[in-house]
A and B are shown apart, each in its own frame.
Chain A
């Protein structure tokens, strides 16, 4: 039988380290990957994966990533909404892992909305 052992867990915990408690304080940036059936079929999981990796690599606090439902724009999936406290929400369309990394870097980290990917 194969099972995730406690040794695995301990390794994970050690690697993740002490940053955990700090990072989950008050979030000021909310990113939603829309994951209805349409989004999933269009590749939302890979977008979500890329986003989680980017957040992890950045080490930035205050970012909350959630999975949303279908927003009714199935043809433009995968859609990603980015809301930074104090500004209007921005919805990106037809995302993929590469675009997600670009949006994360430019919009979330540097504050520059990536107009070319925005849902219009």
Chain B
């Protein structure tokens, strides 16, 4: 995947396929620790133990296990490439939690990309899902909670394209505020040059 936000979209689609109606996405970036982590937690049907053991191997999975096949193995490879790892915990019937961890300054780390587009796309197709997004960069953080949004917008309005358009614009603006003043991960090349400033 060219962007971390595409991995996030993929993880959220996994959660939705697992029947989740509560999904929490959490991105944490720390300049001091030089780490970036992505977590997606859902209340879907979870996975049986034997699938967990194989989920980083794309060749073990078949169409039947497609849900945990390609996507997680790609993410695991991306994390390992960047001095990180992938951790999955699951409880059948209770939900799954996926956490990918990266070295933030690693040259192979894909840019975050258009996270607002990822969120917009998720909300558009799943207005009834209770979705939270938290993005922390050092001391600053951004939160978005669809339950709050829904109560403010009255009913199913979140799936309305016009609402979504304005919502994604608002998210982009908030994220820009969040990341300004810290090492910019929006482009790997910029990140590389930023290191000389330290």
Measured between alpha carbons, how far is A11 from B163 in the docked complex, in Å? 10
A26 within 8 A of B: no
Contact of A3 with B121 in the complex, beta carbons under 8 Å? no
Contact of B125 with A67 in the complex, beta carbons under 8 Å? yes
B:176-198 near A, CB below 8 Å: 177-178
Q: Which A residue's beta carbon lies closest to that of B143?
A: A3
Contact of B165 with A56 in the complex, beta carbons under 8 Å? yes
A112 within 8 A of B: no
A: contact size bracket: 35 or more
Taking CB atoms, residues of chain A closer than 8 Å to B157 are 13, 16, 20
Against B, the Cβ 8 Å flags (1 = close, 0 = not) of A1-39 are 111101011111101110111011000000000011110
Measured between alpha carbons, how far is A19 from B10 in the docked complex, in Å? 31
Contacts A36-B66, A37-B70; is A52 near B6 (CB within 8 Å)? no
Measured between alpha carbons, how far is A36 from B67 in the docked complex, in Å? 9
Contact of B6 with A16 in the complex, beta carbons under 8 Å? no
Pick from A1, A17, A46: contact of B141, CB under 8 Å: A1
Against A, the Cβ 8 Å flags (1 = close, 0 = not) of B100-134 are 00000000000000100110111011100000000
Measured between alpha carbons, how far is A100 from B57 in the docked complex, in Å? 34
A69 within 8 A of B: yes
Main secondary structure of the interface of B (DSSP, over half): helix
A75 within 8 A of B: no
Interface pick from B25-33, B43-51, B86-94, B148-156: B148-156
Contact of A4 with B170 in the complex, beta carbons under 8 Å? yes
A:38-75 near B, CB below 8 Å: 38, 40-41, 45-46, 48-49, 52-53, 55-56, 65-67, 69-70, 72
Q: With a 10 A CB-CB cut-off, give which of B13, B155, B162, B165 has the most chain A CB atoms.
A: B162
Contacts A48-B124, A49-B120; is A13 near B152 (CB within 8 Å)? yes
B17 within 8 A of A: yes
Measured between alpha carbons, how far is A66 from B171 in the docked complex, in Å? 21
Taking CB atoms, residues of chain A closer than 8 Å to B149 are 4, 9
B:27-80 near A, CB below 8 Å: 63, 66, 69-71, 74
Contact of B152 with A52 in the complex, beta carbons under 8 Å? no
Taking CB atoms, residues of chain A closer than 8 Å to B121 are 35, 45, 48-49, 52, 67
Contact of B70 with A65 in the complex, beta carbons under 8 Å? no
Closest CB in chain A relative to B68 CB, distance in Å: 10
Contact of B162 with A19 in the complex, beta carbons under 8 Å? yes
B15 within 8 A of A: no
Contacts A45-B118, A56-B161, A67-B125; is A37 near B166 (CB within 8 Å)? no
